[in-house]
Structure 1
Amino acid sequence: MPASSRPRSSRTRLRIALAALATLTSAVLTTLPAPAAEADTAAAGHLTGTLSDGAAWVADVPDHWNGTLLLFSHGFGPTVATDAPTGDVRTKLLAEGYAMAGSSYDPHGSMWALNSAEHDQFATLDAVTAKIGTPRRTLAVGQSMGGLVNAQLARDGGGRIDGALGQCGLVAGGTDLDNYQLDAEYTIARLLLPGQDVKLVRFGTAAEASATADLLTKAVTTAQGTPRGRARIALAAAFLNLPAWSPGKDKPAATDWAGQEAQQYDWFAQGVLAFVEGGRYAIEQSVGGDNSWNRGVDYARLLAGSEHAPQVGALYRAAGLDLRADLRTLTEGATLTADPAAVRTAQRTSSAGQGLQVPLLDVHTTADNLVPVQQENRFAARVRASGDGALLRQAYVDRQGHCAFTTAETVAALHALEHRVDTGRWDDVATPAALQRSATALGLDGAAYVSYSPAQLTVGRDGPEPSGRR
């Protein structure tokens, strides 16, 4: 929401954030037929059905099927079955002969449906192949939260999945996500709302989460009016791994510290905190409590590992603020603890990177406001540690926004994955230059693949909390 607009109610803000995320990560859901409520049905290449847990599935099969089935995992949002990231991608891939399928995940729980998503995707595969026959090969595709599901399928799907394509994937997992988001929320509350008791975790209702989002967003909006406030916003943005490049703007210069902060503020003003708090409520519902903590976090050390540390330091000096004092305040006040059972559940259901059984190509935009591109660095380190680094390739699109890919970029990445599955070699098909050539040659809607190496994810926790909740 622009700073000049009248603030919306907290409930409205949450609804808008969730609707926007669903649009970005789950395609235009309203264009899909309603899922079947009872027995499986088929109609002119479009199949629907219902799984044993109540999850719906859909599939689209072209008249001239090429034998490849794409199993699509949708992102965070309403649990509605979809089988492609966008309608345009579906149209293009059907024209190329691909069949597509995907499930809603279990609709009876949280929108953070990681308790059922992987199981429901494999069950969808069974249901669809019973209808259309065994595919020549099956490729998993996933976006955002579905990118995490997709990584789990690549980890566990050997023999059933031949390869996987992830886009804007939340591959660092739910606990890393909640922890670095907590650092940003805590920074805003502690430094911009001193003395106020702001509820940051263990939301009992969606309304509580929305109220926190509203309170924190208003604090940021007010703070943007002063140099001291802008310096502290930059500090919170660094902990949130928030990009300094917003939609409709030119990328700021490398040392344009004020310009970078202004574009980070754009993301705050457009409602990123409503997504953060709404997502936290959904994750807490799913894992049975709070899986994040900051007790024991050294905030000076945390900032030192951020790519935005020079920006924050420059803005603090320009504002005449003592950065060390603020970081000391944060460290001394860091007493939030996790619910151990929730941490264990999140590790079991909402993480990936413990290995790969099939080739995985991950694609990410360089300025992702909801799932920071730095997650790819964290994920790759875990895959390498498991000994499966040769199966992973990562590619980057130079663009602002979450899951903001063109149809050409998506199709080119899929073709690169197919090369790896067919030949057993990546060769050079997943390089930025090759992907750019392949996407451009499609003559569709353009491409922006670039050579890029993401920075480290600023999260400051390499293992479980030192001790349980107190």
Structure 2
Amino acid sequence: MRSIASRGRLAVTLSVLAALALSACGGGDDDGDETPPAPEELRVQDSRQFSVDETRLPFTALAGAPETDRWWGVLRGAGYRVEVPKNWNGMLVMYAHGYGGTGATVSVSDAPIRAHLIAQGYAWAASSFSSNYYDVRAGVEDTNALALAFQQIGAQNGRTLAAPKKTYIIGTSMGGHIAAAAVEAETIATANNPVRYHGAVPMCGVLGDTELYNYFGASQIAAQQLVGVPATAWPVANWATLAPQVRSALFTTFPSATTPLGDQYKEIVKQLTGGERPMFNEGFAGGMNATVWGTFGRDGTINGILNKDGYDTTGIVYQFDNDPAQTPAETAFNQAAYRLKADPEANRLRRDGLRWFPKTAGQISVPVVTIHTLGDVYVPFSMEQIYKRRTVALGTDKWLVQRAIRGVSHCDFTLDEQTAAFDAMTNWEQNGVKPAGDEVLDRATVANPAYGCKFSSASRTPNSCPAS
């Protein structure tokens, strides 16, 4: 059967791509002036230096797995690993890893479902990316460059490989953002290393792109306002001094036990992160909440990924309960809240490639299957809701299937949950069988105590799912 990807791609029209190109180039003059555009401005990230520790690139065969060829090296400043079964099925899976921190050394990670991939005959490849920090632009470009070099790497190592008949992309956390951005029409139109993937599996991904950082800013603003030390400027100049005061007013033990005022803050965070749902309480009381608080006090450049303030809370609606209707108290809180407004230049289209912070706008035309844990308050379930709304608005939600997983922490998946999502995506793309998923926008559905049980592993559900 001919694949869905070749049978029914979304019409990303030439006019749309032309508009993107014109915008990226700064206009559409037709006066014959061929003067090249001025160089793009730089940001802090562009001044940072990173290197690959090549001694950490080699990797060994998996015990009991099919025989493979394994190659590693450095490509354009990024380390890589490639594994190709001897009985290769002709298809390639690119894996994008999560946030690598802020160190000067970049490192590569194996695909978490490596054993499953090679058992099914798939080749896989993963890049370290050429930089650390939250550099999704580098992650997309370096992953794509590795995909494009796949045959060449094989030839350099004595194996002739045909061009992959299918190329898929999967990723976790920041890598989930990369996987989702990689299949966007804007990315395909503006990347320096464009790849047309046949499907994607973003896992625990930042599917709301900059909305994640808007949430971080909104959470700090709400915490300060509740405690009576509201923000009046950004970044908050004396946050280091205020933080202990704010935290002690909201928590008796941070982050596991709240004060009565902290209960109100907890409800605000619940609504910012996806609304009433199973596993939220456990997630809020865990280490990921402390990680969220670790983002407070920063400016809006996402640690130098942007060079102007990219936070924007003008669209945030604070709620004290799961009812979207605003009470007088909620209205008053929203009216009083300090609002962040992003500089329009902070994340504009670039003339030299992708946006600094690539968008996940929902301009997709291939199967995308996502999984997300319900208790995650760091990259929260609301990312899925934002992404779904974007695809609905564009009419591309027919290409999207989402699955809620009853995990407590960030990327808290079992291997079988990940392999099930991958197999669902490839079966959909190769055989036209659209998989089942979860409704993510209906509040009553998401709030049901059994929500997320359908696609959560049997290894975790007996003690967390209601008896049938």
Q: TM-score, normalised by structure 2?
A: 0.65
Match of residue 118 from structure 1 = 140
The amino acid of 1:163's aligned partner reads G
Deviation at residue 239 of structure 1 after TM alignment: 5.3
**Following TM superposition, by how much is the alpha carbon of 1:335 offset from its aligned partner in structure 2, in angstroms?**
4.6
Counterpart-to-counterpart distance in 1, 2:109 and 2:90: 16
1:171 is matched with 207
The alignment status of 1:62 with 2:85, answered yes or no, reads yes
Match for residue 233 of structure 1 among 253, 258, 265: 265
Residue 415 (structure 1) aligns with: 423
Residue 392 of structure 2 corresponds to 384
1:209–1:281 contact (8 Å) kept in structure 2: no
1:443-469: CA deviation from partner (whole Å, max 9, x where unpaired): xx84759xx9xxxxxxxxxxxxxxxxx
The residue that corresponds to 2:319 in the other structure is 303
Query: In the aligned structure 1, how far is the partner of 2:382 from the partner of 2:455?
Result: 25
Question: How far off is 1:153 after superposition?
Answer: 1.4
- Measure, in 1, the Cα distance between the counterparts of 2:120 and 2:240: 43
- Taking only aligned residues, the RMSD between alpha carbons, in angstroms, comes to 4.2
- Tell me the CA shift for residue 181 of structure 1: 1.9
Question: CA 1:400 to 1:216, structure 2 compared with 1: closer, same or farther past 3 Å?
Answer: same
Shift of 1:142: 1.2
Cα separation, 2, equivalents of 1:215 and 1:129: 58
In the alignment, the residues of structure 1 paired with residue 382 and residue 100 of structure 2 have an alpha-carbon distance, to the nearest angstrom, of 22
- Measured in 2, the distance between the counterparts of 1:410 and 1:391 equals 19
Are 1:47 and 2:96 an aligned pair?
no
Q: Where does 1:153-232 land on structure 2 (aligned, <5 Å)?
A: 153-156=182-185, 160-174=196-210, 176-192=211-227, 194-195=228-229, 201=235, 216-222=246-252, 228-232=260-264
1:466 corresponds to: none
Q: Which residue of 1 aligns with 2:180?
A: 151
Deviation for aligned residue 1:49: 2.6
2:14 matched residue in structure 1: none
Q: Distance in 2 between matches of 1:209 and 1:343?
A: 26
Q: 1:222 to 1:436 in 2, by over 3 A?
A: closer
Residue 232 of structure 2 contacts residue 338 of structure 2 at CA under 8 Å; is this kept in 1? no
In structure 1, C-alpha distance between the alignment counterparts of 2:377 and 2:340, rounded to whole Å: 25
The answer to whether the Cα contact below 8 Å between 1:185 and 1:216 also exists between their aligned partners in 2 is no
- Map Cα deviations across residues 77-134 of structure 1 (whole Å, 9 max, x no partner): 2374435453xx2233333332211212222xx5111232211111010122322322
Deviations along 1:397-418, one digit per CA (max 9) or x if unpaired, are: 2222221111111112111111
What TM-score, normalized to structure 1? 0.65
Percent of aligned pairs with the same residue?
Answer: 22
2:310–2:346: 8 Å Cα contact kept in structure 1?
A: yes
Shift of 1:185: 0.5
Can you give the 5+ residue segments of structure 2 that lack an aligned partner in the other structure? Answer: 1-53, 59-67, 155-160, 189-193, 440-451
Report the alpha carbon displacement of residue 244 of structure 1 after superposing the two structures with TM. Answer: 7.0
Describe the shift of the 1:294–1:399 C-alpha distance in structure 2 as closer, same or farther (beyond 3 A): closer
For residues 436 and 138 of structure 1, what CA distance do their matches in structure 2 show?
A: 31
Task: Report the alpha carbon displacement of residue 264 of structure 1 after superposing the two structures with TM.
Answer: 6.1
Correspondence for 1:100 among 105, 112, 124: 124
2:162 aligned with 1:139? no
AA in 2 matched with 1:183: A
CA shift, 1:173, in A, is 0.9
Aligned CA distance change for structure 1 residues 333 and 413 (closer, same or farther; 3 Å) = closer
Match of 1:401 in 2: 409
Does the C-alpha gap of structure 1 residues 238 and 336 become closer, same or farther in structure 2, counting only changes over 3 Å? same
What letter is aligned with 2:433?
W
Q: Which runs of 4+ in 1 moved over 6 A?
A: 196-199, 208-215, 223-226, 242-245, 278-282, 435-440
In 2, Cα distance between equivalents of 1:212 and 1:362: 38
Question: In the alignment, what sits opposite 1:11?
Answer: none
